[in-house]
Structure 1
Amino acid sequence: MAGELLDNKGRGDATWQWPAIHPEGRKFGLITLAISLVFLLVFDWELVGWPMLALTGGVFAFFRDPERVVPLDDRCIVSPADGIVSHICEMDPPAELLGDDGSGVIGLPPGKVTRISIFMSVFDVHINRAPVGGTIRRLVYIPGKFMNADLDKASDENERQHLLIERGDGFALGLTQIAGLVARRIVPFVKPGDMIAAGQRIGLIRFGSRVDVYLPAGTDPKVLVGQRTVAGETVLAEIGQQQLIEGIAQ
């Protein structure tokens, strides 16, 4: 199905398949597999070997990289992460995404915007995808703490990485990858100057984390707190659309 064009009129063919394992995770899975086999086949320590074998399955599952069907609509801002919408609030974007950083690249304008925070547990897919297509104008890594990523203050205190994406029409969008309680490394797949498409893989955060998206002024979310999102597929917002949406948990 990769690369196939699908639409809402029935065009395309959808088939289930096992998700691929991202290369970044294969080495970790092979290491735990080798250790489990040593305990089982060499030392005959089943009490340790079988749990290690189960851990191997968990490691491979964590780094799974399924295909996604990405909406091809310039108005859509798609989710960069699988997970749960944990916070929606009005706030100023991070200083690293604002104004001129000295390189001549103009960042986001000052003023409060809507921030959507998506929390990823260790059971979610951790490959992050671009909310919109464009050029990577900034990639700013900031070392920090490793508090629970679900806490609001994690946006300011945890290890994080800011990205600024600018489209050809001048529209710019900022997002932040935040390491969590278990996560210990943010792995980027892109660098400043790279041109990317909406839904393209841009990086991953190992073992539980969060992603913040900063919507442009005059744009309201189309998701609710508590809602699950799918990276590259769930539409977080449509640029320029403002509408109160209510829901109920049931």
Structure 2
Amino acid sequence: MFHKEGSKIIFISLVVFIVLLLGSSYVFTNPWILKPIQYVLLALFLLILQFFRNPVRTIEVNDYHIVAPVDGKVVVIEEVFEPEYFKDKRLQVSIFMSPINVHVTRYATSGKVKYSKYHPGKYLVAWHPKASTENERTTVVIENRIFGEIMYRQIAGALAKRIVNYAEEGMHVRQGHDAGFIKFGSRVDLYFPLGTDIKVSIGQKAVGNKTIIATK
């Protein structure tokens, strides 16, 4: 199953793949040259397909759990000052997604969207310390009945050129449902109240809709 955000890119890639495949067959008659070219073209097309995959992951909604919004590696767990919305200290957990990870963003918790804003910006590598405040990003705050206000940021990386965010202020969202998509490399930051019980560790692999990030 593929995400709807990849439909146009997948179609264009398929057309380009077919044209290049037929063109290479016409230009190169030597199989020792033709076959490697065809394998490379096929590998590139498959890479695009896997990037936009959208595995179905059912979830039992639990307001006492904050689940991973994306697949990736936990790269940051630290106390920081959050200047945009809370303007106080928060506990930040960051998940870095490589190009081979699923890039669907899902709602980590249920609740009402209190804040949703897009910020244009740079395209520093996603693990750069300044990526959270200088890269292209969206900031979303969801008010959950147990945790209170939880923030997450979709952050573009060096390859990401478009962030898709479905959250709009006033919406009531459900844990596990699609919240958006980040195309080609990225990171998601989560911000919790100080003292939140974090259940992941640095270097741990997180799986969207499955890994529990925090509990009450």
The residue that corresponds to 2:49 in the other structure is: 60
Greater displacement, 53-62 / 115-124: 53-62
The residue that corresponds to 1:230 in the other structure is: 207
Correspondence 1:86 to 2:75: yes
Q: 2:9 aligns with which of 3, 14, 28?
A: 28
The residue that corresponds to 2:180 in the other structure is: 203
Distance 1:79 1:235 in 2: 6
Deviation string 1:55-84 (CA, Å, 9 cap, x unpaired) is 111111101000113243211011111000
Distance 1:71 1:226 in 2: 26
How far the C-alpha of 1:43 sits from its partner, in A, is: 5.3
Q: How high is the sequence identity, in percent, across the aligned residues?
A: 39
Correspondence 1:121 to 2:119: no
Q: Which has the higher contact order (CA 8 A, sep 6+)?
A: 2
How far the C-alpha of 1:42 sits from its partner, in A, is: 4.7
Flag the 1:202–1:33 CA change in 2: closer, same or farther, 3 A.
same
Cα pair 1:82 1:230 within 8 Å, conserved = yes
How far the C-alpha of 1:154 sits from its partner, in A, is: 0.8
How far the C-alpha of 1:177 sits from its partner, in A, is: 0.7
Flag the 1:72–1:169 CA change in 2: closer, same or farther, 3 A.
closer
Flag the 1:169–1:77 CA change in 2: closer, same or farther, 3 A.
closer
Consecutive unaligned residues of structure 1, counting only runs of 5 or more, are: 1-19, 99-109, 240-250
Distance 2:89 2:69 in 1: 21
Cα pair 1:36 1:48 within 8 Å, conserved = no
How far the C-alpha of 1:119 sits from its partner, in A, is: 0.2
Deviation string 1:135-187 (CA, Å, 9 cap, x unpaired) is 11211111111011011211111111100111356821111110001001101
Correspondence 1:171 to 2:148: yes
Correspondence 1:41 to 2:22: yes
Cα pair 2:76 2:202 within 8 Å, conserved = yes
**Structure with the larger strand share:** 2
Correspondence 1:184 to 2:173: no
Cα pair 1:32 1:53 within 8 Å, conserved = no
SS at match of 2:116: strand
Aligned-CA RMSD value: 1.8
Q: What is the number of equivalent residue pairs in this alignment? A: 208
SS at match of 1:21: coil
The runs of 4+ residues in structure 1 deviating greater than 3 Å are 45-50
SS at match of 1:64: coil
Deviation string 1:191-246 (CA, Å, 9 cap, x unpaired) is 2222111111100111110000001232131100000001111110113xxxxxxx
**Structure with the larger helix share:** 2
Deviation string 1:78-103 (CA, Å, 9 cap, x unpaired) is 111100000111012231x22xxxxx
